[in-house]
Amino acid sequence: MKYIYIKTWGCQMNEYDSSMIANLLQKEKKYLLTSSIEQADILILNTCSIREKAQEKLFHQLGRWKKIKDDNPKIIIAVGGCVATQEGKKIFKRANYVDIIFGTQTLHKLPNMISKIENNTNRIIDISFPKLEKFKYVSKPIKTKYTENVSIMEGCNKHCSFCIVPYTRGHELSRPCYDILYEISNLAKQGVREINLLGQNVNAYKGLTVNGKICRFSELIRLVAKINGIDRIRFITSHPIEFTDDIIEVYKDTPKLVSFLHLPVQSGSNKILKLMKRLYTVEDYKLIIKKLKLVRPNIQISSDFIVGFPGESDQDFQQTIDLIEDINFDMSFSFIYSRRPKTPAAKMKDNISLQEKQKRLYILQNRINIQTMLWSRKMFGSTQSILVEGISNKNTTELFGRTENNRIVTFKGSPNMIGQFINLKINKIHTYSLKGELI
């Protein structure tokens, strides 16, 4: 019996890919997943290139794994994900003990790659972009939780000036509609109750139906809502430029779609949005939110922000803070701008000091935290529908689940509630989590 250890960095897309890798190697190679590096025969690192110094983070991790391989040369080390696609053969040059480099679109080839290494092939690399080929190998997923991610498309065509995703995951490609529905139906039969549709830009989805017609994202959500057993639907991430009226209409007629939306805006300055090549204005963004609140008055919005983008003045930053207060965002992912290789923004003059960037990030995150706490306070004493996901990590005598607006709630309950929707009264609040009691 052989064991695989997978370390995953980055977004939910990477988490989904790692799940695919684990399922594939268990089915085709009969390998078992382990959480112990010492027990593993194969070490797999699934990387992310969004953040600064992603390459150095990779080589630091590989350096730690080298010591393990020095003690046991039979251990196979494989590197995949976005940094693997970005760096390619450079990884072999700096870490010649790595056996396999695979890309975001070639993870399905891992079983064959591993077999070749076991038969004494000397290093393998495949970071090509076969169109959606990997999804053909995961048509019968293995449910591990009561809420599951399902990737509906790959890549992005937007080419925002700061973003490396189009270079590491390729152009937008939508999975066939029937393929997605088949996967979700299988998950529902295994007890999954909540689905999170994934993509770099999900609202650009245009997948083929059985009849050869195009299924838009709004239509896909309605079809998922019809699957027996699926009672809650989320999606991430979407782009404002394609958040069209037909998607807004889904919020009006599809109650299974949660009243919570993550819609990245990145900046509150039209000047910076233009430099970022985001293709919309602050006014366009506000109009989308206004339309959404007309059909879902209680919807809560989270977003992404980049602080200190080249050319961002004090006034530009203040416009971002003004937008945060105007929209009343619930949560955010916010980062200091960092240059990413091959992106147009990498050629721009970065005229803002690190100290100033850190100051702005602190101001922004503090503002968001205040608003998050205010949203939590509004939930005190309310009744919330919770999907019970399991036993709390912090207190094994409690269970935990999530509200529609993605707050973790812990409470006293019995294990037979796991996997069920229950109603809780919120009796204690923290900024990002809640306590509840059974009604």
Residue 142 has a pLDDT of 57
In this structure, the strands spanning 421-429 and 433-438 are: antiparallel
Residue 138 has a pLDDT of 58
Residue range 11-15: mean pLDDT, rounded: 85
110-118 and 12-28 helices, crossing angle to 10°: 50
User: How many C-beta atoms lie closer than 10 Å to residue 392's C-beta?
Assistant: 16
Residue 258, classified by CB atoms within 10 Å of its CB into exposed (0-12), middle (13-18) or buried (19+), is buried
In the predicted model, what is the mean pLDDT of the chain? Answer: 93
Return the closest-CA partner of residue 10 out of 49, 45, 44: 49
Q: Give the pLDDT band of residue 12 (cuts 50, 70, 90).
A: confident
Residue range 265-277: mean pLDDT, rounded: 98
| pLDDT surpasses 70 at 4 | yes
Residue range 186-192: mean pLDDT, rounded: 93
Q: Give the pLDDT band of residue 139 (cuts 50, 70, 90).
A: very low
Q: Give the pLDDT band of residue 141 (cuts 50, 70, 90).
A: low
* pLDDT per position as a tens digit, 354-399: 999 999 999 999 999 999 999 999 999 999 999 999 999 888 999 9
The whole-angstrom separation of Cα 169 and Cα 57 is 20
* pLDDT per position as a tens digit, 155-178: 899 999 999 888 888 889 999 999
* pLDDT per position as a tens digit, 425-437: 999 998 888 999 9
Residue 358 has a pLDDT of 97
Q: Give the pLDDT band of residue 27 (cuts 50, 70, 90).
A: confident
SS3 86: helix
Residue 81, classified by CB atoms within 10 Å of its CB into exposed (0-12), middle (13-18) or buried (19+), is buried
Residue 359, classified by CB atoms within 10 Å of its CB into exposed (0-12), middle (13-18) or buried (19+), is middle
Alpha helix stretches (DSSP H) within 171-244: 177-189, 217-225
Residue 428 has a pLDDT of 95
Partnered with residue 174 across adjacent β-strands are 153
Look up the pTM and report it: 0.89
Return the closest-CA partner of residue 334 out of 356, 367, 311: 367
* pLDDT per position as a tens digit, 304-355: 999 999 999 999 999 999 999 999 999 999 999 988 888 999 999 988 999 9
